[in-house]
Amino acid sequence: MTSADVRGKRVLCRVDFNVPLDGDRITDDTRIRAALPTINWLREHGAKVILCSHAGRPKGQVIESMRLRPAGERLAELLGAPVVIVPEVTGDVPKAAIAQMHDGDVLLLENLRFDPREEKNAPTMAMELAELADIYVNDAFGAAHRAHTSTAGVATFLPAYLGLLMQKEVDSLSKLLDHPERPFAAIIGGAKVSDKIEILSNLVDKVDHLLIGGGMANTFLLAKGKSVGKSLVEADKVNLAYQVIAEAEAAGVALHIPTDVIVSNDINAEHGDVVSIDAIPDDQAIFDIGPETARSYAEVVIGMKTVLWNGPMGVAENPAFAGGTRTVAEAVGAADGFTVIGGGDSVAAVENLGLADKIDHISTGGGASLELLEGKELPGIAAIPEDA
């Protein structure tokens, strides 16, 4: 984007203002803040900044509670400058408002998904959006895995660039996947093997260490012949876990699975018991990795030049089962190497632990970062020419 001459130009900038609301009140404005560098750069370089975003799932209808006004008002506060909030997506109303804009002004279009054509990547809507502007910038990493009109189609009709946030995401994640400094460890946790199998397959021959935690470790334990009591397991995915174990072995990758765990008979319990993986009681379930496992994972992480983490080590929403996630998070925070965390729940866990500022890159896109880590091409990135 920084190579574009935007002075005096109308720049249509796709942002991700899909923020959580409690009535009219925004409960977390992280996504709006994340878009500020691009918006400020565009303003400082004399662009007329026309912002567009989706919010929620209105499914092609105008839903009053899903209007972007609260996001626009919050943005105005953060910018310390007015934001013109237009209650329509395309057509004469936005056109007239845009015609009034001066260089450096900011305008926000209405929720893109009020238009049923948005999620269909409809060319008619792409042309209508393109008519509003001279240049297109995509800074909505959180929506980059969707081939929608505002993330993909519109790029066909305008000179298209990646925004600063998008660029940072792409740079950080592709550095990690394409030319990581070694040694490189990936810590993969979360609920299910089936959610993460493509990430595991993509990473298994790229890393030096693969550390497995969370509910999905249970399926690996099962593959290793352990009995896991009442734990969350995917008995039909044992073969996938077994395949990852085999691929790691063939690639000379050190695969780590828990040696001890925290068990309980209640996910809401106030504390659990530490047991060896050889002594999991039949009537209890695993809710976290144990302290010995957490320590050994932390030791591996500390020595790495690159660390990727996706998926909590346990049911970290409950403080009783957040210990493994905390120990690993502290180690990732303390590691000298380049550290990246991606995934909605992982990022939330690290933020709740107050360790976010110790991580080199926290990916803002849940689904989008997962798809990149799976090795997929994202439509929102593919739509932007190589040299943008």
Residues that bind ligand ADP (CB under 6 A): 190-191, 195, 214-215, 232, 286-287, 310-312, 314-315, 317, 343-346
Distance CA 37, CA 362 (A): 16
Catalytically annotated residue among 104, 303, 366, 367: 367
As beta bridge partners, residue 68 has: none
215 binds, among ligand ADP, Mg ion, none (CB under 5 to 8 A by kind): ligand ADP
339 binds, among Mg ion, ligand ADP, none (CB under 5 to 8 A by kind): none
The residues, any chain, with a CB within 8 Å of residue 92's CB and separated by 6 or more, are none
Residue 128 or 371: the one with the smaller Cβ distance to Mg ion is 371
CB of 345 to Mg ion, least distance (A): 4
Whether 182 is catalytic is no
CB of 200 to ligand ADP, least distance (A): 12
Whether 366 is catalytic is no
Residue 337 or 343: the one with the smaller Cβ distance to ligand ADP is 343
195 binds, among ligand ADP, Mg ion, none (CB under 5 to 8 A by kind): ligand ADP
**Cα–Cα nearest to 346, from 377, 375, 324:** 324
Whether 344 is catalytic is yes
**Cα–Cα nearest to 304, from 275, 272, 336:** 336
- Out of 128, 208, 345, 371, name the contact with Mg ion by CB under 5 A: 345
Cα 314 from chain centroid (whole Å): 19
CB of 309 to ligand ADP, least distance (A): 9
Catalytically annotated residue among 9, 31, 113, 146: 31
Catalytically annotated residue among 192, 295, 305, 376: 192
Whether 367 is catalytic is yes
Segment near Mg ion (CB under 5 A); pick from 115-123, 229-237, 250-258, 337-345: 337-345
Distance CA 43, CA 26 (A): 24
Distance CA 129, CA 132 (A): 5
Burial 142-179 (b: 16+ CB within 10 A, else e): bbbbbbbbbbbbbbebbbbbbbbbbbbbbebbeebbee
3-state SS assignment for residue 309: strand
Q: Are 15 and 1 in contact (CB under 8 A)?
A: no
Residue 192 or 376: the one with the smaller Cβ distance to Mg ion is 192
Catalytically annotated residue among 46, 303, 344, 366: 344
Task: List, by residue number, the catalytic residues.
Answer: 31, 192, 344, 367
- What are the residues binding Mg ion (CB under 5 A)? 344-345
